[in-house]
């Protein structure tokens, strides 16, 4: 994830069928994040990387459009509209409950990864005309992925 300059990765992206994702927004200076625990502002960096399991979200901010990319779709970027802030309830990697409110990039990244755990991709949230413009590139990525998976399956069959 970090090697590819990503800020989140869901279990589904590595073929693991769990309601689990990891977020790490440290080092992203041009898109700040906010976080509150028990109504008090905290530094999100102190809670990174963050594993969230069985996450539930409640939108708390007005819709906001901003840029997104996805490690599953290298070099594809689009403006996506999401709530600017969310309330998060989940479990951490130790099974302990976590509850916080967040905004900025952290809120966007959590919503993006949450979508993965519910079979929604960021291309599903693109404006129709944007997706149409990107369709040739999306088709190319789809073909490459199918070839790669077929090659892996053939290698395992030997």
Residues carrying an active site annotation: 113
| Strands (E) located in the chain | 8-10, 20-23, 33-37, 40-42, 50-59, 63-70, 73-83, 85-91, 97-103
User: Is the CB of residue 49 less than 8 Å from the CB of residue 20?
Assistant: no
Q: Which two tokens stand for residue 85?
A: 């802030």
User: Is the CB of residue 4 less than 8 Å from the CB of residue 27?
Assistant: no
């Amino acid at each position: 994830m970090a090697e590819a300059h990503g800020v989140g990765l869901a279990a589904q992206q590595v073929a693991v069928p769990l309601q689990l994702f990891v977020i790490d927004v440290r080092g992203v200076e041009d898109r700040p994040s906010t976080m509150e625990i028990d109504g008090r502002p905290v530094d999100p960096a102190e809670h990174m990387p963050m594993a969230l399991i069985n996450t539930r979200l409640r939108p708390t901010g007005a819709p906001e459009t901003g840029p997104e990319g996805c490690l599953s779709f290298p070099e594809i970027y689009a403006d996506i509209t999401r709530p600017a802030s969310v309330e998060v309830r989940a479990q951490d990697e130790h099974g302990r409950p976590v509850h916080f409110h967040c905004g900025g990039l952290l809120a966007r990244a959590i919503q993006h990864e949450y979508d993965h755990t519910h079979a929604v991709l960021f291309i599903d949230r693109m404006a129709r005309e944007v997706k149409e413009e990107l369709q040739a590139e999306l088709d190319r990525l789809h073909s490459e992925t199918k070839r790669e998976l077929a090659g892996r399956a053939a290698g395992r069959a030997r």
